[in-house]
Amino acid sequence: MSLLRRRRQQQSPPPPSPGDDSNGSDHDDKDKDKGKKLAQEQPSSSASAPPSKEAGRRAKGKWSCVDSCCWLVGCVCSSWWLLLFLYNAMPASFPQYVTEAITGPLPDPPGVKLQKEGLHAKHPVIFVPGIVTGGLELWEGHHCAEGLFRKRLWGGTFGDVYKRPLCWIEHMSLDNETGLDKPGIRVRPVTGLVAADYFVPGYFVWAVLIANLARIGYEEKNMYMAAYDWRLSFQNTETRDQTLSRIKSNIELLVATNGGNRAVVIPHSMGVLYFLHFMKWVEAPSPMGGGGGPDWCAKHIKAVANIGGPFLGVPKAVAGLFSSEAKDVAVARAIAPEMLDSDFLGLQTLRHLMRMTRTWDSTMSMLPKGGETIWGGLDWSPEDGFECKSKKRKTNDSEVSKDVHGEPVEVNPEPVNFGRMVSFGKDVAEAPASNIEQIEFRDAVKGNNLAHSNTSCRDVWTEYQELGWGGIKAVSDYKAFTAGSIIDLFNFVAPRMMQRGSVHFSYGIADNLDDPKYGHYKYWSNPLETKLPNAPKMEIFSMYGVGIPTERAYVYKLSPQAECYIPFQIDASAEGGDENSCLKGGVYMSNGDETVPVLSSGYMCAKAWRGKTRFNPSGSKTYVREYNHSPPSNLLEGRGTQSGAHVDIMGNFALMEDIIRIAAGATGEEIGGDQVYSDIFKWSEKIKLKL
């Protein structure tokens, strides 16, 4: 008690404020009143903290969005630097050591294995890259591209996409009228093997195959990367850059400087169609063709080893041009529509993407060819009976299982109408063909011009602004589109794009290949409207992966906000009845390499070119080489040595071994002839095409 009294005596009242004329008694009364109030608010003054400390605690307890962002960025950066440090400190042999501990000893890379067998470089090798995998660099640009001379706009690090995205889109786009350069812009393909060895640092395209070929003696004097501007139509690569002439000259030079040994050409993806165009161009008389004569290919080409070739097109091209989507984009769009559809942060991502890609005429080369004869109609398709299981592909027989009592129960597979490439609504995709009431769209009157109602629409030009509400409704009322009506659909929704494309590409089936009209270059990349070269000793391989669900048909819906938006989108909510259904996220999946269905990759070599046919009058030998997909066993294995995916297959050991053997002189029979895991031969028999 005495201590408390002493502490109270030591506490002195606060000094009066200067200039205060009131007397001391008034101060005392006010202090007493304040004391009473404090006593009421704070029942136990000895247990409570001083007001200054309490205010500090309250200030510390506040957590703003800036604090959260800084904390998140700090954690990400710290984790990244830690992982980077561990990766650089890790011995180079550690990933292989861990992989071998899990899976057993790894086999030698194909180049090492075949070097031990005594194989040596023999035939010169020509690589033909596909769409998007070849680098493009800037030679002339607008003011916003200052400092980017001869820097990669495509491939490499893509750093300038993040720094100046709209400027990048402007320079990557082509002229809407000519399909060539815009005024004041020159973007050109990177040359040499570095043009497509890596797409971005660490993501190989041709690099692994080049390294393995080098093991048996190949180098730049007997290898050539036929780089080209993959945005242009095939004939325009010659018109603008003389690329086809350069390929012709380089092949002639390589053959002449390698003892007269004919070249082995290895195209990938869209490069398959590009080289198909080249083989007709080089034979055709100038000025339209290269003037090499009808025996040029026979003299200069030993084999064409096509990897992942979209000979008959890909359904993915339909979705890409129709709504700038694929399966993964559709799922992302459903989860976060604000990021891709709206004006969020001024991005307008999908609309800018559509504005750019619709100027790339090459994309139209991959629209499905052959119509309903190849791809099927409303009530049939060659793949009828395909079962969407990860490890099993079905026959046309129904499955038999057992119920809980052990009695056999017949389980019929879910019917899939792959021939309906675009359906508006899941009910339309599944309904019997006789129940679908289609309202003709081709002559429909287009409605009001959407671009007039919102001037910002013109900044992300697509022809949907000119389609209007009337045209949008006419498309959806047609309900189901087959490969035969897809071309008419694009002529309706994107007439300017198709007007350019129709000059360079065709999608039909020739009735009479001797008709002089098929001498025009627009038919040269369609294997159903042209003949193979007169080269009976030339071999053609179709090499592709199988065992991966691959996009085949789509369920669409109208976009909820069509004005200044892409009015159609994949209905990601459309799902099949069970986990084995072919319908996933609005997309019907078939067998393929994740990008190209088996039907497109395999049919020509399995049937239409097999033996002497009207498409292969000289009887060049054809082989189907399929590679069953097997994912990597662990993360340290990278993209896998048995992958069948569209790009990852370039690192597949079995495929590389086949190619190296062919380059070293082996024939198709010597590497084993056909190697088939899918039902491509059975599906080919269902296609009623005059051969």
CB 521 within 8 A of CB 288: yes
Output the pLDDT for position 18: 43
Residue 332's CB: how many other CB atoms inside 10 A? 15
Question: Which residue out of 171, 197, 229, 269 is catalytically annotated?
Answer: 269
Q: Bigger pLDDT: 579 or 391?
A: 579
**How large is the average pLDDT for residues 462-483?**
86
Q: Bigger pLDDT: 331 or 390?
A: 390
Output the pLDDT for position 479: 94
Lowest mean pLDDT among 76-85, 310-319, 446-455, 640-649: 446-455
Residue 151's CB: how many other CB atoms inside 10 A? 14
Output the pLDDT for position 47: 44
| pLDDT over 50 (residue 396) | no
| 646 in active site | yes
DSSP 365: G
| pLDDT over 80 (residue 417) | yes
Burial 42-69 (b: 16+ CB within 10 A, else e): eeeeeeeeeeeeeeeeeeeeeeeeeeee
**How large is the average pLDDT for residues 83-93?**
65
| 269 in active site | yes
At residue 633 the predicted structure's pLDDT band, cuts being 50, 70 and 90, is confident
Question: Which residue out of 646, 648, 678, 684 is catalytically annotated?
Answer: 646
Output the pLDDT for position 466: 77
Torsion of CA 202, 204, 209, 213, to 10 degrees: -40
DSSP letter string, 628-660: E----SSGGGTT-SS--STTGGGG-HHHHHHHH
Lowest mean pLDDT among 63-72, 121-130, 624-633, 665-674: 63-72
At residue 564 the predicted structure's pLDDT band, cuts being 50, 70 and 90, is low
Q: Are strands 408-411 and 422-424 parallel, antiparallel or unpaired?
A: unpaired
CB 359 within 8 A of CB 174: yes
Lowest mean pLDDT among 376-385, 537-546, 600-609, 626-635: 626-635
Secondary structure in 3-state letters for 654-677 = HHHHHHHHHHCCCCCCCCCCCECC
Of 312, 268, 277, the closest CA to residue 684 belongs to: 312
Output the pLDDT for position 19: 45
DSSP letter string, 108-159: PPHHHHHHHTT----S-EEEE--TTTS-EEEEE--GGGTT-TT-EEESTT-H
Average pLDDT, the chain: 83
Question: Which residue out of 229, 593, 648, 658 is catalytically annotated?
Answer: 593
Please tell me which of 153-167, 378-392, 487-501 the model is most confident about, judged by mean pLDDT: 487-501
Q: Bigger pLDDT: 64 or 199?
A: 199
| pLDDT over 60 (residue 375) | yes
At residue 613 the predicted structure's pLDDT band, cuts being 50, 70 and 90, is very high
At residue 448 the predicted structure's pLDDT band, cuts being 50, 70 and 90, is low
| 229 in active site | no
Q: Bigger pLDDT: 603 or 100?
A: 603
Output the pLDDT for position 56: 52
DSSP 582: S
Output the pLDDT for position 164: 83
| pLDDT over 60 (residue 468) | yes
Output the pLDDT for position 343: 44
Q: How far apart are CA 325 and CA 301, in angstroms?
A: 38
**How large is the average pLDDT for residues 168-179?**
91
pLDDT, tens digit, 9 for 90 and up, residues 212-254: 999 999 999 999 999 999 999 999 999 999 999 999 999 999 9
Please tell me which of 56-70, 437-451, 518-532 the model is most confident about, judged by mean pLDDT: 518-532
Burial-class residue 667 by CB neighbours within 10 Å (0-12, 13-18, 19+): middle
Of 3.40.50.1820, 2.40.110.10, 3.40.50.10860, 2.60.40.3080, which CATH number belongs to 111-310+520-546+593-686?
3.40.50.1820
Dihedral sign of CA atoms 608, 613, 616, 618 in order? positive
At residue 387 the predicted structure's pLDDT band, cuts being 50, 70 and 90, is confident
Of 262, 367, 255, 258, the closest CA to residue 314 belongs to: 367
**Domain residue spans of the chain:** 111-310+520-546+593-686
* Percent of the chain at pLDDT exceeding 70: 76
CB 114 within 8 A of CB 664: yes
Q: How far apart are CA 396 and CA 300, in angstroms?
A: 44
| pLDDT over 80 (residue 552) | yes
